[in-house]
Amino acid sequence: MTKQPRKNPFPLPSELKNVPGAEDWAEMYPFFTRFQPEDDKKFWFYNSMHFPEPMPAFDAFTAEIPYVAMGAFTTRVFAFPTALGVDHRIVNGRIYITANPVTDPKEIERRVQVFNERAPYYFQNWSKLYEGWQTRVKQIIADISAIQIPKLPEFEDEAVVKEARGIAQNFYVRDAFHKCIQNFSKMWMHHFEFLMLGYGAYLVFFQFCKKAFPEIADQTVARMVAGIDVLMFRPDDEIKKLARLAVELGIESCFTEGAPAPDATLAAVAKTGEPGKKWLAALDQARDPWFNVTTGDGFYHHQRSWNDDLSLPFSALPNYIAQIKAGKNIDRPTEKLRQERARIITEYRALLNTDADRAAFDQMLSLCHLVFPYVEDHKFYCEQWITTIFFNKLRELGALLASKGVLKNGEDIFQLRHTEIEDALGDIMLAWAAGSPPVGARHWQPIVEKRKKMLDKLKDWAAPPALGPMPERIEDPAVQMLWGITSETLNSWARSPDEQDPHEVRGFAAAPGVAEGVARVLLTADEISQIRQGEILVCPVTAPSWAPIFSKIKAAVSDIGGTMSHAAIVAREYGMPAVVGTGQATKRIRTGQRIRVDGNTGIVTILE
């Protein structure tokens, strides 16, 4: 018999120890991200879905700004009745979060009145408002792309005098930085403008189904909104187009499994003459904007875009080409999913007993079909396209600091907090004006080197999945659907290895089907190239740009994620079995082991 975990199996925040060699980690982050004494009374969980690695100093800003925006819209703009914002803390470089619920019935009722006056306006005008949203977000893309990073030449351009501009180049140094920060922050506001309403619409439908059909599986509800056509699948579609074109032009031999670096492949294509010229022109057309996707989820500077590094999209081409030549269909099974969706909807709708219930079911489901594409579409514009440009603009500022000797390398700018970058830029602005060398090298370079060493030490820290008193049950449906954290998840985390079935890992049944194969455990996005045809992917969490590798694998297993996480959505849309939210698959499964993934039950069996 399985032992029950002790009542409070997770450490309190105050009980955590610093990692040896990284005792000063807190200096990398703002003071308000540190755990406070009163935080010991709250339950926290490690947000490894978005932040699976220790955060470099600047990258912590990519957590701060999203939580600023999300909380603003849930707490203040739409006044969600039962949820406020999220508190986040950083310890040993890892980000922990806790949701702030509204539990007082009177306060809930007061917020219901505000919410009901505001949310319906968006739902009733969704399509028109979404068009306006796209216009505003594309303007941010244009604005941040247009930011010019000054070069600080020896002498100002003569036009500054002849056109009486009245502003010298050093003014634009901080101005450019501020514009980067402002546009990035504005993007995150727009990101959550629609997102929480989209999740809310699905959540209401989900809860209706759970009440009307007590035995219905979470996955079955999710399949009622499957078969969607969203922008996040477009980058992968572009790779498929390029694969088809390579076969059509007869240059497929340039793309082989384990081929040399992208530059060598491009050179080989160019040597084929006119066919290569046509293919390269098609590649250029696809890259803008569809290759503005990163190997991660848009929160780490080192997760470069496909445009910066063509390795990931090029690694997918040989497999697509081989399937095309074999006469196989490489398109997603969207029509099949839609037919299955229609069948499920018809079956469950017929189980409702009253016209009122059927009308409510129809209305809620129709709203889900209207709003749900945004849940995935926004990722392309926000976390991917804009964030790619944002990080590259910071790189230009880093290159400026390096050119003046303040930093050894332009990438070192990401080892500074955004407030410290202000100071570093102020140093070169003053030095250029004074005609003297900047003094920042002696100050910043030792800090950068120290932080790099600390990050290296922090990578080995085994971050607890949760902190604080263990709640009796997890009642927040959003935490369950997105992160896959339930009461059973907590119990699983709390059990010691000898209390677990050594041959079984359990999680959420995210996408139907059963598959057996050899496991490939990937811990970071940098390891994607290791995936081989027919393997089963086991990872902490997937990212949107991983879609091309779904054509190679038989099934997917993740540590983090619920039935509406990106990994679950992509697996369903690609028609492959998936189990998500296992909590520990990457720790208990090794590359090379044979496993069985049952996407119907949420059970992963280790066969050898």
Arithmetic mean of pLDDT, 345-355: 96
Q: CB burial class (10 A; 0-12, 13-18, 19+) of residue 68?
A: middle
Instruction: Choose which CATH entry (3.50.30.10, 3.40.640.10, 3.50.30.40, 3.40.190.10) describes domain 477-606.
Output: 3.50.30.10
Closest Cα partner for 468 from 64, 7, 51, 24?
7
pLDDT higher than threshold 80 for residue 343: yes
Element (H, E) at 317: helix 311-325
Per-residue tokens: 159: 């036009």
Residues 6+ apart with CB under 8 A from 500: 492, 588
Q: CB burial class (10 A; 0-12, 13-18, 19+) of residue 32?
A: exposed
Cα(280)–Cα(282) distance, integer angstroms: 5
Cα(523)–Cα(90) distance, integer angstroms: 21
Per-residue tokens: 53: 């690695």
**Residue 480 near residue 507 (C-beta atoms within 8 A):** no
- When pLDDT is cut at 50, 70 and 90, the band that residue 2 belongs to is very low
Residue predicted with more confidence, 465 or 397? 397
Q: Of 283-297, 429-443, 463-477, where does mean pLDDT reach its minimum?
A: 463-477
Arithmetic mean of pLDDT, 337-341: 93
- When pLDDT is cut at 50, 70 and 90, the band that residue 5 belongs to is very low
pLDDT higher than threshold 60 for residue 185: yes
Residues 6+ apart with CB under 8 A from 297: 50, 303, 383, 541, 543, 544, 566
- When pLDDT is cut at 50, 70 and 90, the band that residue 498 belongs to is low
pLDDT higher than threshold 50 for residue 358: yes
Cα(137)–Cα(186) distance, integer angstroms: 9
pLDDT score of 499: 63
- When pLDDT is cut at 50, 70 and 90, the band that residue 572 belongs to is confident
pLDDT score of 183: 98
pLDDT higher than threshold 60 for residue 434: yes
- When pLDDT is cut at 50, 70 and 90, the band that residue 1 belongs to is very low
Arithmetic mean of pLDDT, 304-330: 92
Sign of CA dihedral 48, 54, 60, 64: positive
- When pLDDT is cut at 50, 70 and 90, the band that residue 421 belongs to is very high
Closest Cα partner for 152 from 177, 169, 168, 171?
169
Q: Where exactly are the structural domains of the chain?
A: 13-111+458-467, 125-213+366-438, 477-606
Sign of CA dihedral 223, 225, 227, 233: negative
Residues 6+ apart with CB under 8 A from 263: none
With a pLDDT cut of 70, the percent of the chain lying above it is 97
**Residue 459 near residue 54 (C-beta atoms within 8 A):** yes
Arithmetic mean of pLDDT, 490-505: 76
Which of 322-331, 540-549, 566-575 has the highest average model confidence (pLDDT)?
Answer: 322-331
pLDDT score of 589: 95
pTM of the model as a whole: 0.93
Closest Cα partner for 299 from 412, 384, 187, 196?
384
Task: Name the strands in the sheet holding 514-521, side by side, starting at the edge strand that comes first in the sequence.
Answer: 504-506, 603-606, 594-598, 514-521, 536-539, 555-558, 578-580, 508-511
Q: CB-hemisphere CA count at 13 Å for 164?
A: 0
- When pLDDT is cut at 50, 70 and 90, the band that residue 7 belongs to is low
Task: Name the strands in the sheet holding 466-467, side by side, starting at the edge strand that comes first in the sequence.
Answer: 83-91, 94-101, 44-46, 466-467
pLDDT score of 310: 92
CA dihedral 525, 11, 468, 464 (to 10 degrees): 10
pLDDT score of 586: 92
| Residue 141 DSSP code | H
Task: Quickly list H helices, 72-163.
Answer: 105-124, 126-145, 159-162
**Residue 544 near residue 232 (C-beta atoms within 8 A):** yes
Composition of the chain by helix, strand, coil, percent to 5: 55, 10, 35
pLDDT score of 479: 78
Residue bearing tokens 């006044």: 79
State which amino acid sits at residue 271.
K
pLDDT (tens digit, 9 = 90+) per residue, 95-143?
999 999 899 999 999 999 999 999 999 999 999 999 999 999 999 999 9
Arithmetic mean of pLDDT, 525-536: 84
Q: How would DSSP label each residue in 446-487?
A: HHHHHHHHHHHHHTT----SEESSPPS----HHIIIII---H
Closest Cα partner for 235 from 371, 390, 384?
384
Closest Cα partner for 289 from 386, 397, 201?
386
Q: How many CB atoms lie under 10 A from the CB of residue 356?
A: 9
**Residue 353 near residue 193 (C-beta atoms within 8 A):** no
Mean of per-residue pLDDT scores for the chain: 92
CA distance to 107, 108, 116, 580, per residue, from 113 (Å)? 10, 9, 5, 36
